[in-house]
Every structure is written in structure tokens, then in C-alpha cells.
Structure 1
Amino acid sequence: MSNKRRLWQIFGPVLCAFILLLVVFLLPWERTFSKESLYEAAASQTTTVFKGSKMKQEAYDDGYVPFYGSSELSRMDPLHPSVLAEKYHRSYRPFLLGGPGSQSLAQYLGMQGTAKQLKDKKAVVIISPQWFTKKGQDPNAFTMYYSPLQACNFLLSAKNNKTDRYAAERFLEMPEVKGEIKSGMRSVAKGEKLTSTQKFILENRRRMLNNEDKFFSTFQLRNRVEKIHKKTKLLPNTYSVAALDKVADQQAAEHTNSNDFGIDNNFFRLRLPNKTLKRLKGSQRNFDYTKSVEYSDFQLMLEQFAKQHTNVLFIIPAINEKWSDYTGLSQPMYQRSVSKIKYQLTSQGFDNITDLSRQGNRKYFMEDTIHLGWRGWVAVDRAVKPFMKKANKPYNYSMHNYFYSKKWQIKPYASPTGVTDQNKTNKKDSLKAK
């Protein structure tokens, strides 16, 4: 037998399989998901779903509403939005997007494939205080949520405006952005058009990634359906805030009886053993959430909502006051950061804000150190329920490039006069950049 024939017998099948796989992923391929799969995906919070497009697109077309947030969405107690929507047969179902470390930059990238489906619709955003550290998005966390598919979507629709240039610059700071995508980000950051070669490569990469998304998005779904159904049994059959508060008190009393901070027993046992607890005393006295690149990353999300004319409810949670007293975290500082966030929202027309930031001293309001708990979720529902019931209308926002500036990022507190004056001088630039 000749050497060529032997080589073909060894490597031929592998080469054929590779070519077949390449053809399969490059050819247009359609798939729809069952209602059961969409329901599972809506509560699963897997990074596969977060990074994909097709499943989210179908869910939004089917009446699901995105709830953007981070690790607080994982606290699936009986008062969680997904449980309440199931129990009381709401006209909407929350589609949970985020987990630990899913800050504004990761969320913005994840939004790139669903602009059409969210046009003139509603969304909910829970803004986490721990996002607004000096450096903003943690690169390691970004790696978990980074989606080459959404990066391709971003690059192939990018324009020479402040939003896209700023976004590309920030993506370039993330180590996970590599290869042809990194090359494209460099071009966009400089305000340059993609070359025909770059577009060709990115379009074919996107086609392959879209097919992968359709094939694999249902893999490894975290099935929380049974958990949600089990939690609904703890709720009263007839909805009332007083009845929900009673359930919240009962559940919280049972789950926080091991410590004086009002923190969930399991969280306290696993995350705050004696050595850790002692080490954390006074450890947050120098924390400052008022100066952060996160404010400009947050602006990316706002620009995406504005582009989609999405009607958004923003929820600003509290911090467990007993915990902040112990760690030395300044509540006045936190309130300044809340004022800054609220000004950034309201000055651009985002008026649906539920500010829970002063509720950190309420019993059973928080589940642990910084995450909403039993009574906190009841407060969230008191905002979400009427927001969802209210007839929707297209929203037009007045966006300002000033919020991408270093000056805004490091501004120690929100000064309406100063920001307004600055916006006046930047308004023409903002319109030009668009």
C-alpha cells in the first residue's frame, strides 16, 4: 500500500468530517424552540443563554421581559419576580439576564443581538452598587460573559460615533477580545470603517456562531422550573402586599436566625466564617462608588435602550445597613452615588426609577450583605407590577455624550447645574457624533 493511501486512510475521514462540519455551520440553518425550553431558559441564568441570540429573540417575541442584573437574580426565594409571575399568572414572564460579575459592559455586549425584538417594548434593570468601583468591569468576570457572536454583531453594525468608539475602546481593555474581533475593535475605536476583508471574515464568523447558538443554546440549561413551582406553594392564592409581607417575614425569620446581621444562614455559614468576619470589620471604610468608569459603561446600556426606544424600569437596591456599619461602608457616600446614577438617568429621559437605597435598615429587606431579600422583592414587585400593567408607548430619549467623559466618571457627586451646563456645550457634539 502506498504512503499516500495510508495517509488518506488515517487523515481522510478526519478531513472529510471537518469539511462537512464547516459546511453545516456556514449554511443558513433555522430552528425554533419549544415553549418549555424558553421557560427553562428564562430562569436558568446560564452564560450560554446570556451570550446567545436566538433563544432570547424568540422569548421576547413570546412576551418574556428581560430582567437585567447580576447575582441578586440568583436569590430564588418565594418572593422572587419569576416565582410571583408564575403564581399569579402575570401577562409577562421575567427573562433573567446576568449573574455574578455581569456589569454594564458585559450586559451591553449581550444586548447586541436583540435590538429588533426589544424595539418599543419593556425591560427591567437592577443596578448593583458593587458595579461602581474605580475600574468598573472585572476582566475575569467579563471573560465568563464574553460572546464572540455579540462582538461580531457589534462590529458589523458599528458607526463612527462616540458610543461605538467608546465601547470598542473598553472592549479592547478586556483580555478575552482577540484575533479578527480585536482587529475590528481597533478600527472602530479609531473611527475607521471596517475593510471589505474584515467584513467578510466577521460575517462568516457570525454565520458560524449563529448556527452554533441555534444548535447548542439549550445545552446545559439550569432547570429551575421545579424549584419555581415548589416556591409558589408557599405564597397565598390571592395576591396582596400584606399577605406577601407576611410570607416574607416568616421565610426570613426562619432563614436568618444564625446571626445578628439579618443575613441568610447558608450565606453566613459559607461566606462569612469567623476568620473572614473578623477580617472584614472596617474593611470598606475607604470604598467610593462615586468615582468609576462604570458610569460610562452604564451609559452604553442607556444608549442601547434609547436606540431601541425601550421603556425601562430601573431599580436601585439598598445595602444591608447592619453590614455597612460593621464594614465601615459610608452610607452618605452610597447616597451620593445613587444621586449620580439618578441624575444620569433622569437628565436623559429615563424617569421610571424605583429607589430602594434607603431601605437597608428595614428588617428582612436584604438577604445578605448587598442583595435584595424577602421584603426587598416585595418592594420590587410593587414597582414591577404596575409598570408592566401600564400601556406601553415608544420612548424617545435625549442622550448626551458628556456621560462618557472622564470628568463625569470622577465627579464626586451629581451636580445638576454643572452637568446641565456641560450638557449644553456637548449637545451639538453629541448630535454630530450620532
Structure 2
Amino acid sequence: MKKKLFLIFGPLVLAAVLLAVVLVTPFNFTKPDSEEIHEASLSQSNNIFKGTAVKKAAFEQNYVPFMGSSELSRMDAFHPASMALRYHRDYQPFLLGAAGSQSLTQFWGMQGVNNELKNKKVVFIISPQWFVKQGINPAAFSMYYSNLEAVTWLRQANNSKMDRYAAQRLLKIQKNHSDSFLKDCIEQIANGKKLSATQKTYLDLKYNQLTHEDQFFSTLSLKNRVKKIKKASKKLPAKEDNAELESLATKLGEKATTNNDFGISNKFWNRELKDKYKRLKGEQSNFDYVSSPEFGDFQLVLNQFSENNNDVLFIIPPVNEKWSNYTGLSKSMLRQFDKKVTYQLREQGFNNILDLSNDGGKPYFMQDTIHLGWHGWLTVDKSVKPFLDGKDKVNKNNNYKINNYFYSDQWQKAEGQELNNIIK
């Protein structure tokens, strides 16, 4: 009887033991090929964002992180990936972020690849809509967060303001941790305490396990957008000519925005607004993007960029002016947001800023209510191309001066006259 049971269950037990051994060993077993990397770079897949294997391989090549949120999904002919493909740029965008991703998401997404990002260039798109009163939505954060990010970070975390603040924010946003031992480690860092030898050993084993799981499974079920970008890029003229591109942007924008008075694409209008736009008049009059914990989360990103010595092009997109006039979104509030976020950047040495906040009224600049469209992406390209094209992919001369004041509640909440007193 025992022999029969062993014959039935023995192979299963042995397989489970072997799998466990494989997962916790420190050796790498698989590496993504060039086709997988390219597909992943356009997929905006949560698994890719939360993982490290594919991103590491990509950033060792000519892929450049484009960090943002839902605007990266608007893949028209002038999208950065389309322009890079059509005109054989010597860089390829790696899209990091989608709907719901914000500063805190991006900070944790960097934790597994900071070594690969050292001295590299990054394009970072700042959405005003992130900076709401309550900050990032915990459910949205959970979509992009993984224990692998936290474990990788914990293995090198120390008693710095950045690490303490990151731990405190993580505990507040991610209250239900699947791993109680991991949560204890995060609490240690949040309280400025060192990890024990036992905790460090656990983290090393956990890191090996999660890394191998990422290597095996992260590229499964990717959204394949390669064909979509290829199709979009074919609309562009064969030779890169500014006048032709401007004319084409107007032509495509004009053709795509015929069923409403707001310069919004027909598809978006029919899907999202046609049946409800009348009741949205004046609905955004109380929106506020000036007082928000997002400014503290954004500081985490800046702090990490400084640690990595990243050369970053920051892009501040506008909102659709016709639509914001209709919904009552305050122009003075938007100006104050712009003033606050650019102050936070410039005060710490982040001076490469493409501020498009005043361009939301230009024809065909926006595709919908808040996302860049035909002329919007084309304008972005005029800054992205000289920033990324050419041999200079590494910058070792940044002189960032991180100021921990920007983590403070006072800064996060400052608006109106209080903000004006700070920004003199």
C-alpha cells in the first residue's frame, strides 16, 4: 500500500521540492529575447511594470523609459513609439504606466531596475489629474505594485528620509499585505530601524523566488501593440519633414473630430461623453490639483532620479481648454498647480521641463479631455528627439540638490497665499 501511494504521490512531491529549490536558488535561468522585449516595451502590461527581468534587459539596450499614465495608451501616428519607428531613431521608448499609475507607482516600479537606470535618460509625463486631494487611489496602486518591488528595495533600504517616507506611504496605501513577514520589514524601515539578520536572509530567499517567478511568467499574455504602432507609423511621411508633419497632424485631427464642438475625437466622444456631457457642465468647478499628498509621492520620484543621476525630460501636458471651460475647471487653479510643480522641480535642479500647460486651446493639440493628440504629440517630439537622439545617452553632470522639505505636509497642502509666500 505504501509503495503504491509513493508511486502515485512521490513524483508530485519530488516535483514540488525541485520547483521550490529552483525558485530560491540565486541563478538566472531565462532571459527575454529581442522580440519579447520589443513587444513588452509597447504592451503597458501590469506584469512587465511590476517585474524586473524584461525591464533590466531593455535598459541594457537602447530602450528609454517613458514614464506616465493613460496618455501613453493614445497611440496615434505621432506617438513617441510611432515616430521612433518610422524615422529609425537610435532609441526605442519603453512605455511604463497606464491608466491609474501615478508618482508612487513609478517610484516602486523603478526599485528593481535602479542599477540599470544609473546615468540614463528618462522621459517623465506629469499629469495634473494625479494631484487630487486624496492622492493615489489604493486600488489603482495595487494593480501596479508587487512584492518583488518591495523585496528588492528592502534589501538595500536604509534610514534615509526617502526610504522612511516610501515605507510609510506603502503601509498607508497597501494596508492588506499578502506577506506578514514582509510587512514587518517595511515597518522596521518606516520607523528608522535596521533589519535583523533573519529578516535579511528571508529577503534574499524571497528575492530569488520572486525573481524566478518573474522570469518565467512576466511575458505571458502580453498585449501585443506592435502591429498597432506599425500601422500608425505608416501614416507618417517617408521623409521626416516638419511642414509635412504639421500639415498631416492638422489633417488627421480635423478628420477625427467631426461630431462635437470640443475638439474631442469622435470615438472618445461616442464612447464616453455623448450621452452624458450635458450633465457635466460646471461639474469640475471645485476640482483642486494644488493641495495633495501626490507632491510628496512626486518627491520620492525626484529623489530616486537624483540617486540614479538620471537626466530627465519632464513634460507637463495641458487639459482640453474648450472642455475645461465647459466643465468649469478653474484656470487660476491650473496655473497655481503649474507654478507649484515647476517650483518643486527647479528648486532641486530639475530644469529640463517641457511645459505645455498653456497649449490646451490649440487646434488638434488634445485627443480628448486630458490626453495629448496629434499636434500635442508632435510638439512633444520636437523636444524628445533632440533630448534622446544621438550618441549622448549617458549624463554624468547633473547637479541635483534634494530638499526634504518637499516631503512635508506643509508643502503638500500649500495653496493660495500660503503657496505664494513660499514661492517668492
The answer to whether the superposition gives a TM-score over 0.5 is yes
Per the alignment, residue 363 of structure 1 pairs with 363
Per the alignment, residue 423 of structure 1 pairs with none
Residue of 17, 21, 42 corresponding to 1:19: 17
Question: For residue 146 of structure 1, what is the amino acid of its counterpart?
Answer: Y
Matched, 1:373 2:373: yes
Deviation at 1:419, TM superposition (A): 5.7
Paired residues for 1:386-425 under 5 Å: 386-389=386-389, 391=392, 392-394=394-396, 395-412=398-415, 415=419, 418=422
Per the alignment, residue 198 of structure 1 pairs with 199
Matched, 1:325 2:329: no
**Retained in 2: the 8 A contact 1:284–1:328?**
yes
Separation (CA, whole Å) in 2 of partners of 1:118 and 1:419: 32
Separation (CA, whole Å) in 2 of partners of 1:67 and 1:177: 29
Per the alignment, residue 147 of structure 1 pairs with 146
Per the alignment, residue 226 of structure 1 pairs with 227
Q: Where does the alignment leave 5 or more consecutive residues of structure 2 unmatched?
A: none
Paired residues for 1:53-92 under 5 Å: 53-92=52-91
Per the alignment, residue 46 of structure 1 pairs with 45
Separation (CA, whole Å) in 1 of partners of 2:152 and 2:104: 15
How many residue pairs are counted as aligned between the two chains? 417
Separation (CA, whole Å) in 1 of partners of 2:249 and 2:363: 10
CA deviation string 1:376-418 (max 9, x = no partner): 0011001101111373421231000000000000110585763
**Retained in 2: the 8 A contact 1:143–1:176?**
no
Secondary structure in 2 matching 1:116: helix
Separation (CA, whole Å) in 2 of partners of 1:208 and 1:43: 27
Deviation at 1:180, TM superposition (A): 2.0
Secondary structure in 2 matching 1:90: coil
Separation (CA, whole Å) in 2 of partners of 1:360 and 1:393: 32
Per the alignment, residue 169 of structure 1 pairs with 168
Question: For residue 49 of structure 1, what is the amino acid of its counterpart?
Answer: I
Paired residues for 1:228-247 under 5 Å: 228-247=229-248
Separation (CA, whole Å) in 2 of partners of 1:418 and 1:238: 49
Question: For residue 84 of structure 1, what is the amino acid of its counterpart?
Answer: M
Secondary structure in 1 matching 2:94: strand
Separation (CA, whole Å) in 1 of partners of 2:132 and 2:79: 27
Per the alignment, residue 303 of structure 1 pairs with 303
Deviation at 1:177, TM superposition (A): 3.4
Separation (CA, whole Å) in 2 of partners of 1:134 and 1:417: 21
Per the alignment, residue 117 of structure 1 pairs with 116
**Retained in 1: the 8 A contact 2:91–2:389?**
no
Per the alignment, residue 32 of structure 1 pairs with 31
Q: Where does the alignment leave 5 or more consecutive residues of structure 1 unmatched?
A: 421-434
CA deviation string 1:292-337 (max 9, x = no partner): 0000000001011100100000000000011111111112101110
Deviation at 1:185, TM superposition (A): 1.1
Question: For residue 403 of structure 2, what is the amino acid of its counterpart?
Answer: H
**Retained in 1: the 8 A contact 2:315–2:354?**
yes
Separation (CA, whole Å) in 1 of partners of 2:57 and 2:19: 26
Deviation at 1:17, TM superposition (A): 2.5
**Retained in 2: the 8 A contact 1:343–1:416?**
no
Separation (CA, whole Å) in 2 of partners of 1:309 and 1:185: 25
Separation (CA, whole Å) in 2 of partners of 1:279 and 1:185: 45
Secondary structure in 1 matching 2:313: strand
Secondary structure in 2 matching 1:144: helix
Deviation at 1:6, TM superposition (A): 6.1
**Retained in 2: the 8 A contact 1:255–1:265?**
yes
Deviation at 1:13, TM superposition (A): 3.8
Question: For residue 183 of structure 1, what is the amino acid of its counterpart?
Answer: D
Per the alignment, residue 188 of structure 1 pairs with 189
**Retained in 1: the 8 A contact 2:121–2:395?**
no
Secondary structure in 1 matching 2:314: strand
Secondary structure in 2 matching 1:283: coil
Question: For residue 406 of structure 1, what is the amino acid of its counterpart?
Answer: D
Per the alignment, residue 129 of structure 2 pairs with 130
CA deviation string 1:338-371 (max 9, x = no partner): 1100000000000100000000111100011101
Secondary structure in 1 matching 2:66: strand
TM-score (norm 1): 0.93
Per the alignment, residue 425 of structure 1 pairs with none
Separation (CA, whole Å) in 2 of partners of 1:328 and 1:41: 39
Separation (CA, whole Å) in 1 of partners of 2:12 and 2:259: 59
Secondary structure in 2 matching 1:113: coil
Identical-residue share of aligned pairs (%): 49
Secondary structure in 2 matching 1:262: coil
Question: For residue 269 of structure 2, what is the amino acid of its counterpart?
Answer: F
Deviation at 1:254, TM superposition (A): 1.7
Would you identify which runs of 4 or more consecutive aligned residues in structure 1 move more than 4 Å?
4-11, 413-417
Question: For residue 23 of structure 2, what is the amino acid of its counterpart?
Answer: F
Question: For residue 369 of structure 2, what is the amino acid of its counterpart?
Answer: T
Question: Which stretch of structure 1 is more off in the superposition, 209-218 or 288-297?
Answer: 209-218
Deviation at 1:235, TM superposition (A): 0.4
Per the alignment, residue 335 of structure 1 pairs with 335
Secondary structure in 1 matching 2:119: coil
Separation (CA, whole Å) in 1 of partners of 2:279 and 2:285: 13
**Retained in 2: the 8 A contact 1:241–1:378?**
no
Deviation at 1:29, TM superposition (A): 2.4
| Alpha-carbon RMSD | 1.6
Separation (CA, whole Å) in 2 of partners of 1:257 and 1:320: 16
